[in-house]
Amino acid sequence: MQDKKQAGAVRRGATTSAVKTTGRSPERAFVRDVVRKYGRRRRAVIQVLQDIQGRLRWLAPETLEAVARELKMPLAHVYSVATFYKSFSLKPRGRHTCTVCMGTACHVRGGAAVLEHFERKLGLRAGQTSLDGEITLERVNCLGACALAPLAVVDGRYYGQMNESKADTVLQPILHAGSPAPVPEDGPGDEEAS
């Protein structure tokens, strides 16, 4: 029992820095500021969630509750929006984000192989975050930079004509800076997805 608790604590501590930011009061103040910026309008709920996620990187249950309270709308509605749109993450996201484009142009130029390479290299499946909370791997339907196909984006920087050796070079710095523990092949970082 004791052991289990301890392991849980370690794990939570290690998950992501988002734990710090979900600390109660500063977060609620931040939510309040964002809601105020949009004049407390309920129709702005999507913009509110975007701004919040932009800073906190993901939407924790407490965050969604705070948004519902501040906007005076049912929590169910906030969830319905947060779960519908792809850009919202209800799971913690890493400090670094790698996005691999799966648009048509990227597909015909070998985007799937690029994504597979990223998955192998990072030990993550698309949509997962490394256990130490450092790196999130995502796939996206099209980034509209099709001339660069196949395309990957690492921490907001676009890298075109991606191939395996280029991917290794691009990933080098974040793999080392964060030095995420090599995670097992079978479903790391996905505990909340169940």
Partner 1 sequence: MKTYRTHLLVCAGTGCVSCGSFALKDALVDEIARRGLQDEVLVVTTGCNGFCERGPILMVHPDGIFYQRLAPADVPLLVEEHLIKGRPVRKLMYVPPEGDRPVPKMADIEFFKHQRLIVLRNRGRIDPEKIEEYIAYDGYEAAAKALERMTPEEIVAEVGAAGLRGRGGAGFPTGRKWDLCRREPAVPKYLICNGDEGDPGAFMDRSVLEADPHAVLEGMIIGAKAIGAARGFIYIRDEYPLAVSRIGIALEQAREMGLLGKDILGTGFDFDLEIVRGAGAFVSGEETALIASIEGQRAYPRQRPPYPAQHGLRGQPTVINNVETWANVASIIRRGSAWFSSLGTETSKGTKIFSLVGKINNTGLVEVPMGIRLRDIIFAIGGGIPKGREFKAVQIGGPSGGCIPKELLDLPVDYESLTQAGAMMGSGGMIVMDEDTCMVDIALYFLRFTQEESCGKCAPCRVGTRQMAEILARITAGEGSLDDVRKLEELAVTVKRGSLCGLGQTAPNPVLSTLRYFRDEYLAHIVDHVCPARVCKNLTTYYIEPDKCVGCLLCLKSCPANAISGERKKVHVIDQAACIKCGACFDVCPAKIQAVTKYTGERGRALRGGAAVPKDA
- 79 lies in the site for partner 1, by CB under 8 A: no
Distance from C-alpha of 39 to C-alpha of 26, rounded to nearest angstrom: 20
- Candidate ranges 10-18, 154-162, 171-179, 186-194; the one touching partner 1 (CB under 8 A): 154-162
Nearest approach, Cβ of 27 to partner 1 (angstroms)?
Answer: 21
Q: Counting runs of H as helices and runs of E as strands, what totals does the chain give?
A: 9, 4
Judge whether 45 and 73 are in contact, CB under 8 Å: yes
- 145 lies in the site for partner 1, by CB under 8 A: yes
- 126 lies in the site for partner 1, by CB under 8 A: no
Among 19, 44, 65, 70, the residue binding partner 1 under the rule CB under 8 A is 44
CA 173 centroid distance within chain: 19
Among 57, 95, 96, 109, the residue binding partner 1 under the rule CB under 8 A is 109
Sign of the Cα pseudo-torsion (129, 108, 156, 35, in order): negative
Nearest approach, Cβ of 83 to partner 1 (angstroms)?
Answer: 9
